[in-house]
């Protein structure tokens, strides 16, 4: 009997929802500042939206570990791995990153803060200072994780040892409260890295086929963890600093598992959530400069329902413009570069 092909399209849907939540987070903050938007539900959703980044970190760890699982201990795969990761991050990023860098140098007053900008970080995504594109701080974490994970292709054993040392260092620093003046050390031992690692463990769990069939617990456990997070968020309760992020990351890991084991059906590419998921990286890159620009064009009104409609219109425009950018830079240009240079 022919085995049914599995699709992980639900992960794209989750990615789309997470990216939309990040857009809502930043856009709501701008509307609250410039137009005094005051909506309790939107405010709460915007607060949750900040943690869309945590979902991306978990998903990134999962995707890298899952898709390269069969290439462990194979140095011959390293070249392809580096090529794929570099073009995946830099081709969509550089046009936006360079544009923001030029804007900061030509019009320093575009920022409402005294935020200094690092040329090195903006161009190369290394820990040196603030990137011109504010959300690019997450890409610095992404690139660092990709570098660390490359150990897996040299020696699985070395990777496991490095992973154990890394986790110990991150937790040890958090417990001891040690602070570093060095940007690179702050990056290495940052708690956000635990979310990438959680994604890696989820991928290994799926690949090992320990739990291959979904049951009601598959949905109850992630949902229960997510409810705990929502209660913590609503009541502003923290077990310890970063606890809300980690609880959310656990729920995200559960959802990723559900998306790879419990639901493996093909979803239509024209589904609105699939379109949003496919363009999520472009949306993540573009939304902040876009919404910052658009919110200044919106006419001021004193009626909250009208301000709310303006807010929704800006979120919608960010999604549409980002989808066009995705078609140009991710779907077409990136595929062209892959075909042109993959075998060079």
3-state secondary structure 141-183: HHHHHHHHHCHHHHCHHHHHHHHHHHHHHHHHHHHHCCCCCCH
* pLDDT more than 90, % of the chain: 68
CA angle 325–267–6, rounded 5-degree value: 115
Evaluate whether residue 116 is within a structural domain. Answer: yes
Instruction: Give the model confidence (pLDDT) of 110-142 as tens digits.
Output: 666 667 889 999 999 999 889 999 999 999 999
Evaluate whether residue 237 is within a structural domain. Answer: yes
Evaluate whether residue 2 is within a structural domain. Answer: no
pLDDT at 3 over 80: no
The first and second tokens of residue 6, run together, are: 């599995």
Are 169 and 188 a contacting pair, CB within 8 Å?
Answer: yes
Q: Classify 236 in phi/psi space as left (phi over 0), alpha (psi -120 to 50) or beta.
A: left
Predicted pLDDT at 170: 94
Predicted pLDDT at 1: 41
Q: What's the domain range around 152?
A: 9-341
pTM over 0.75: yes
Q: Where are the beta strands (DSSP E) in 209-249?
A: none
Give how far the C-alpha of residue 311 lies from the chain's centroid of Cα atoms, to the nearest Å.
23
**3-class SS of residue 113:** coil
Instruction: Give the model confidence (pLDDT) of 324-333 as tens digits.
Output: 999 999 988 8
Instruction: Give the model confidence (pLDDT) of 147-156 as tens digits.
Output: 999 999 999 9
Are 19 and 276 a contacting pair, CB within 8 Å?
Answer: yes
Evaluate whether residue 1 is within a structural domain. Answer: no
**Number of domain units in the chain:** 1
Evaluate whether residue 17 is within a structural domain. Answer: yes
For residues 339 and 6, what is the distance between their CA atoms, to the nearest angstrom? 26
Predicted pLDDT at 141: 97
Predicted pLDDT at 4: 54
Predicted pLDDT at 27: 97
Q: What is the CA radius of gyration of the chain?
A: 21
Average pLDDT over residues 69-82: 93
Mean pLDDT of all residues belonging to the chain: 90
Instruction: Give the model confidence (pLDDT) of 207-250 as tens digits.
Output: 887 766 666 667 788 888 888 988 998 888 888 888 899 999 99
For residues 171 and 173, what is the distance between their CA atoms, to the nearest angstrom? 5
Cβ-count burial of 100 within 10 angstroms (0-12 exposed, 13-18 middle, 19+ buried)?
Answer: buried
Evaluate whether residue 234 is within a structural domain. Answer: yes
Instruction: Give the model confidence (pLDDT) of 27-50 as tens digits.
Output: 999 999 999 999 999 999 999 999
Query: Residues 191-223, buried b or exposed e (16+ Cβ, 10 A)?
Result: bbbbbbbbbbebbebbeeeeeeeeeeebeeebe
Are 199 and 65 a contacting pair, CB within 8 Å?
Answer: yes
Residues in the chain: 344
Evaluate whether residue 4 is within a structural domain. Answer: no
**324 CB-near residues (< 8 Å, 6+ apart):** none
Predicted pLDDT at 2: 45
**54 CB-near residues (< 8 Å, 6+ apart):** 192, 195, 245, 248, 249, 252
Evaluate whether residue 57 is within a structural domain. Answer: yes
């Amino acid at each position: 009997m022919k085995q049914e092909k599995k699709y992980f399209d639900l992960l794209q849907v989750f990615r789309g929802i997470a990216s939309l939540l990040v857009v809502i987070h930043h856009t709501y903050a701008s509307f609250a500042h410039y137009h005094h938007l005051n909506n309790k539900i939107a405010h709460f959703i915007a607060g949750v939206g900040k943690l869309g980044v945590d979902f991306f970190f978990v998903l990134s760890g999962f995707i890298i570990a899952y898709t390269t699982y069969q290439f462990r201990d194979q140095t011959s795969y390293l070249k392809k791995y580096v090529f794929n990761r570099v073009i995946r991050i830099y081709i969509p990023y550089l046009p936006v990153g360079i544009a923001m860098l030029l804007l900061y140098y030509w019009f320093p007053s575009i920022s409402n803060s005294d935020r200094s900008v690092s040329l090195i970080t903006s161009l190369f995504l290394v820990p040196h200072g603030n990137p011109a594109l504010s959300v690019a701080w997450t890409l610095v974490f992404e690139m660092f994780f990709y570098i660390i994970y490359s150990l897996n292709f040299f020696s699985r054993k070395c990777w496991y040892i490095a992973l154990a040392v890394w986790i110990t260092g991150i937790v040890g620093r958090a417990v001891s409260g040690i602070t570093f003046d060095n940007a690179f050390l702050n990056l290495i031992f940052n708690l956000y890295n635990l979310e990438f690692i959680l994604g890696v463990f989820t991928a290994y769990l799926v690949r090992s086929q320990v739990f291959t069939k979904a049951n009601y617990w598959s949905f109850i456990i992630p949902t229960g963890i997510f409810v705990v997070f929502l209660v913590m968020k609503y009541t502003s309760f923290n077990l310890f600093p970063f606890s809300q992020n980690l609880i959310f990351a656990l729920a995200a890991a559960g959802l990723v598992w559900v998306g790879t084991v419990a639901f493996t059906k093909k979803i239509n590419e024209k589904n609105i959530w699939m379109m949003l998921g496919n363009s999520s990286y472009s949306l993540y890159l573009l939304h902040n400069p876009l919404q910052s620009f658009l919110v200044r064009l919106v006419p001021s009104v004193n009626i909250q329902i009208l301000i709310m409609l303006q807010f929704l219109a800006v979120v919608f425009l960010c999604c549409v413009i980002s989808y066009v950018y995705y078609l140009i830079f991710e779907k077409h240009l990136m595929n062209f570069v892959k075909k042109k240079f993959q075998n060079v």
